Amino acid sequence: MRMTASSPSDGRPVQAGGISPQVRQLAEQLLATGFDKLSERECRVIAGVAQRTQVSRNVNHAFEERRTFGDRLADRVATFGGSWVFITLFLATLAGWALFNSAILAGLVEAFDPYPYIFLNLLLSMLAALQAPIIMMSQNRQAARDRVAAGLDYEINLKAEVEIMELHEKLDRIRSQHLEELLRAQQEQLRLLTRLADGGGAV
């Protein structure tokens, strides 16, 4: 299977066969593997390092792009169901139901749901049966959001690690070049000193 990487200009996937030699060299040199053996996420990171593009993204925006209308509705219901507004309204409704059936209707006509409020228990059971899967759906969405966040964190950490490795490679090359220059300078000085010693002071 051919891996893809995001292009820095338009974000469209680029086939691994069309990547630059610099990207392949980074994958082979720093990660000790071929570009074709990397996952799509790793390919995107390597391409970002080679092309000096940003890989960090807002997890909220990345997650919102994947949510459907049902997902947003489930999140809203779960958010409202876990708020103090819902608890206050729910307690007020229970108190009003009990007061209306026990105190008000009891003195006028026969209450439609007298104590022990069997119809109210039925409604509460149906509400709980409906609310539980909606909350579970929202929790699943939160778990999916956590996975997206973990994936984005992995990309950022991998990019930082690869860039640090690349910096070490550059520093090693600079140090090697500097040592070679020092060695050449010493050899040249030794050559001049040898000629001075052999020529009696003439260079």
Residue 8: both structure tokens together: 């820095």
How confident is the model at residue 10, as a pLDDT? 39
**Which residues lie below 8 Å from residue 120, measured CB to CB, with a gap of 6+?**
94, 97, 98, 113
Residue 57: both structure tokens together: 């993204």
Residue 132: both structure tokens together: 């539980």
How confident is the model at residue 105, as a pLDDT? 65
* Strands 4-6 and 13-15, sheet pairing: antiparallel
How confident is the model at residue 106, as a pLDDT? 63
Q: Between the CA of residue 191 and those of 54, 108, 180, 196, what are the distances in Å?
A: 51, 122, 16, 9
Q: Is the dihedral of CA 175, 181, 183, 186 positive or negative?
A: negative
How confident is the model at residue 12, as a pLDDT? 37
pTM of the model: 0.51
191: Cα within 13 Å, side-chain hemisphere? 6
What are the residue ranges spanned by the domains of the chain?
56-199
Of 65, 85, 76, 62, nearest to 138 by C-alpha is: 76
The 10s digit of each residue's pLDDT in 160-188 is 877 787 788 888 889 989 998 999 888 88
Cβ(49)–Cβ(24) below 8 Å:
no
Of 135, 158, 142, nearest to 59 by C-alpha is: 142
How confident is the model at residue 162, as a pLDDT? 77
Q: Is the dihedral of CA 78, 82, 83, 84 positive or negative?
A: positive
Report, as ranges of residue numbers, the positions in the chain whose pLDDT lies below 70.
Answer: 1-38, 50-58, 62, 105-108, 200-203
